[in-house]
Amino acid sequence: MRDLDPRAIITIGFVLVLLGFAVPFLMVGGFIKSSLALSFASYAASTAGLFLGVIGGALYVRKEKGKRD
């Protein structure tokens, strides 16, 4: 994780949150057959994306604060 740019971590987190939103939306719309495993994977992607976004934001602030000092 230390080798990744904080903006890349935030982007990965955003994609996971977007995936966590889109998959249930497609299941409710009837485009994808609903299953427990898919619902759990969608929830896990959304939760992981949220955590990655927060961690990436904290790393970004830390990096920018280090440049300023």
Question: Would you place residue 36 in the very low, low, confident or very high pLDDT band (cuts 50, 70, 90)?
Answer: very high
What's this model's pTM, rounded to 2 decimal places? 0.85
Task: Tell me, rounded to whole angstroms, the distance of Cα 51 from its chain centroid.
Answer: 7
pLDDT tens, 2-21? 578 999 999 999 999 999 99
Distance CA 6, CA 23 (A): 26
Query: For the chain, what are the domain ranges?
Result: 6-62
Q: Angle between the 6-29 and 36-68 helix axes, to the nearest 10 degrees?
A: 160
Taking a C-beta distance cutoff of 8 angstroms, is the pair 13, 53 a contact? yes
Rounded to the nearest 5 degrees, what angle is found at the Cα of 18, between the Cα atoms of 16 and 20? Answer: 70
Task: Give the residue-averaged pLDDT of 27-47.
Answer: 95
What is the reported pLDDT for 66?
77
Q: 64 vs 16, which has greater pLDDT?
A: 16
